Structure formats: C-alpha cells, structure tokens
C-alpha cells in the first residue's frame, strides 16, 4: 500500500503528437519559462534517448523512458518513474510526460491517475506543415487521427514552415476530425503556461486499451554514423534514408570535435551544431520507418 505523499495529487500533463511534431522543443520552452519544480518524463522510442539528453541539459529534473513506447511496451517504465517521483521527499508540483511520437495518449491516461497523481490534460501537437500529408498517408493516418482525437488541447507547431494554404488545410482537417477542442498556435509565453493548467478538460475519456498499438506499425532501427563526419557527409547519410522514413535523429562528431545534431521529420532534414551548453556524447542515427 503506497500512500500519496501528503494527500495532494500532483497534476500530470501528457504531451503527445506525431513523430517530430515538436514535443521536445515545447517541453524545453515550457521549462525555460517557469521556475516551478516540474519533473519531465521523456519517452524516446529508440535505444538512445536523445530527447532526454537535450532536455536534461537545460533542466535537471528529467527522467528518461527509452527503447519503447510508454503507451505499450514501456508502460511499466512509466509506472516505475511515477513511483520514483512519489517516493521523493520533495515532490514536483507538476509532471510533464513527453509521449513517444507513435503513442496513443488515451492509453496513457489511466497511468496519470496513479496514486498521488491526477491528469491535468492531454495536449497534442500538430505539425501544421505535414499534418495533411500524414492524414492522407495510409501508413500514418490512424496514428495521427487517434492522437488528435484524444486531445484536450491542440497546439499547432511549424507555422513558420507551413504555407498559409497548408496551415489552413490543417485547421480545416482538425475541425472536421475533432469537435470543440481548442486549437492554439505554437506556444508563445502565454500559451506555454496554458499547457500546464488546462481548465478545458473534457469529461470522460478514460482509455480502453486497444491492441495492437500504433507503435506496432513502426520499425525502429539504428544506423551507425561515420566518425568523424562533416555536415556534407552527414547530409549524404540522411539522403540515403529510405523514403518510408518518418523520423530520424542522432548526434555526430564533426572533424573539429563539435557535435552535429541531425533531425529528420518526413522529408524535412535539419543539421545543426550543438552549442557548448548542449554538448552530448555522439549516438547512432535512430531511424523510424512505417512498416
Ligand atoms: N521551423 C520550426 N522547426 C521546429 C518547430 N518545432 C520543432 N521544430 C524542429 O522540428 C524537429 C523535431 O522537433 P522535436 O521537438 O524534436 O520533435 P518531437 O515531437 O519531440 O520528436 P520525437 O520525440 O522524435 O517524436 C527539430 O529539428 C526541431 O528543431 C517549429 O515550430 N518551427
Ligand atoms: Mg521528442
Ligand atoms: Zn505505445
């Protein structure tokens, strides 16, 4: 029998959204804008948790859930992480869980009601540029539609990359898929705060846990990166990824010893040099494809 620390239930925000929608970016933005003791639980489906490393650099209180998906294969890991938080003498006053990009947030909702915790809300990020394509691709439609239908609050990301026409299509699709759920534009200072205190939660919505999971439809592989490798060489590795690639990320060593962070989201590729403050050990390239 585990007693909640002091009878309080710590609010839990579940942050979902498809692979590469911008979840880690938002977690970092939210954490940067608050000095409240917030614990971040970060799920990365690959064998290396690049996201947790990037969050931890800026925010000490980070627990990683690696090599699987919290809504299915790693549900036990999530339970264990919540146990760890519950046993602390100084509990956080809020928990943010970055779900994997293939997680069904509804399957995680019951865990947010574990002893000592309560669900604050399910926030689902939507990539304004790529959402229409994902909805029309049979390999990804189920996943993205399931995710947005579980949201208490939808947040559009990548509005800077989407053409006005594509962003408008994304808004129309959302309006046709989900009714009565607020849609915010990329979190600015106000919206980021709103993510943590959702007054808008809809009633009901406790998950039945269906099987098979969205995760089962995806394959996660790792590709060793040449060491060292310059930006052009890394670009070549990324160009050689199969067309079914939905997401890839990894940290490479440049010839001068600096670190290059490679990020692939659908057809979009980005390589940037990590600042000294973000310095990380190199990793393989984690690649997620549709099966
Ligand atoms: N231009 C632009 N890029 C963005 C925005 N949000 C995120 N990105 C970029 O998109 C890529 C993926 O962002 P992440 O925050 O890692 O996405 P994620 O949802 O955590 O990805 P997974 O955890 O792998 O599913 C990175 O290269 C980000 O820099 C945005 O609003 N605008
Ligand atoms: Mg992430
Ligand atoms: Zn899952």
Q: How confident is the model at residue 188 (pLDDT cuts 50, 70, 90)?
A: low
- Say yes or no: CB of residue 263 within 6 Å of ligand 1: yes
State pLDDT tens for residues 204-235.
Answer: 333 344 456 777 888 889 999 999 999 999 99
Burial class (CB in 10 A: 0-12, 13-18, 19+), 227: exposed
How confident is the model over 90-111, as a mean pLDDT?
Answer: 92
Averaged pLDDT for residues 75-84: 91
Nearest to 20 by CA among 271, 291, 268: 268
| 147 Cβ inside 6 Å of ligand 1 | no
Across the range 234-246, mean pLDDT stands at 93
Residue 199 has pLDDT above 50, yes or no: no
Distance 285 CA to ligand 2 centre (A): 14
Per residue in 1-42, pLDDT (tens digit) is 444 444 578 889 999 999 999 999 888 888 877 777 889 999
Instruction: Give me ligand 3 centre to Cα 275, in Å.
Output: 32
Q: Whose CA is nearest to atom 13 of ligand 1?
A: 22
Looking at residue 187, what is its pLDDT?
Answer: 59
pLDDT tens sequence across 246-289: 999 999 999 999 999 999 998 889 999 998 888 888 999 999 99
Q: Is the predicted pLDDT of residue 118 greater than 60, yes or no?
A: yes
Q: What is the mean pLDDT of residues 126-151?
A: 96
What mean pLDDT value characterizes the chain? 85
Residue 198: predicted pLDDT: 46
Tell me how far apart the terminal alpha carbons of the chain are, to the nearest angstrom. Answer: 42
Binned at pLDDT 50, 70 and 90, residue 95 comes out as very high
pLDDT at 75: 86
| Residue appearing with tokens 């000294």 | 276
Residue nearest to atom 27 of ligand 1 (CA): 263
| The pLDDT value given to residue 251 | 94
- Select from 58, 74, 265, 272 the residue to mutate for testing ligand 1; criterion: most ligand atoms less than 8 Å from CB: 265
Q: Which pLDDT does position 170 carry in this prediction?
A: 98
Per-residue confidence (pLDDT) for residue 210, from 0 to 100: 45
Strand-pair partners of 41: 63, 97
Q: What is the model's pLDDT at position 194? A: 60
Mean pLDDT, residues 109-117: 90
Q: Taking residues 117-136, report their average pLDDT.
A: 94
pLDDT in tens, 31-79: 877 777 889 999 988 777 777 777 777 666 888 888 889 998 888 899 9
Does 87 contact ligand 1 (Cβ within 6 A)? no
Question: What order do you get walking across the sheet with 218-223 strand by strand?
Answer: 218-223, 285-290, 245-253, 259-265, 268-273
What is the rounded CA–CA span in Å between residue 31 and residue 10?
A: 17
């Amino acid at each position: 029998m585990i007693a909640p620390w002091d009878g309080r239930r710590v609010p839990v925000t579940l942050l979902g959204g498809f692979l590469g929608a911008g979840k880690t970016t938002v977690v970092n933005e939210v954490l940067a804008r608050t000095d409240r003791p917030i614990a971040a639980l970060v799920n990365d489906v690959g064998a290396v948790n690049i996201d947790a490393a990037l969050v931890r650099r800026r925010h000490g209180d980070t627990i990683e859930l690696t090599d699987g998906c919290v809504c299915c294969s790693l549900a036990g890991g999530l339970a264990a992480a919540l146990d760890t938080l519950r046993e602390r003498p100084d509990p956080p006053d809020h928990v943010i869980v970055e779900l994997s990009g293939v997680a069904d947030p509804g399957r995680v909702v019951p865990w947010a009601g574990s002893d000592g915790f309560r669900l604050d809300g399910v926030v689902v990020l939507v990539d304004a540029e790529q959402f229409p394509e994902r909805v029309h691709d049979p390999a990804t439609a189920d996943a993205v539609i399931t995710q947005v239908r579980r949201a208490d609050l939808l947040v559009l990301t990548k509005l800077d990359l989407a053409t006005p026409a594509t962003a408008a299509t994304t808004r129309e699709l959302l309006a046709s898929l989900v009714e009565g759920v607020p849609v915010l534009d990329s979190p600015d200072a106000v919206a980021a705060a709103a993510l943590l205190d959702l007054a808008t939660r809809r009633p009901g919505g406790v998950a039945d846990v269906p099987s098979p999971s969205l995760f089962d439809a995806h394959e996660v592989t790792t590709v060793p990166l040449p060491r060292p490798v310059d930006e052009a060489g890394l670009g070549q590795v990324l160009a050689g990824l199969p067309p079914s690639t939905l997401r890839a990320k990894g940290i490479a060593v440049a010839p001068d010893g600096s670190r290059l962070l490679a990020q692939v989201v659908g057809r979009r590729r980005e390589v940037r040099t990590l600042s000294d403050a973000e310095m990380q050990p190199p990793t393989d390239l984690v690649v997620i494809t549709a099966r």
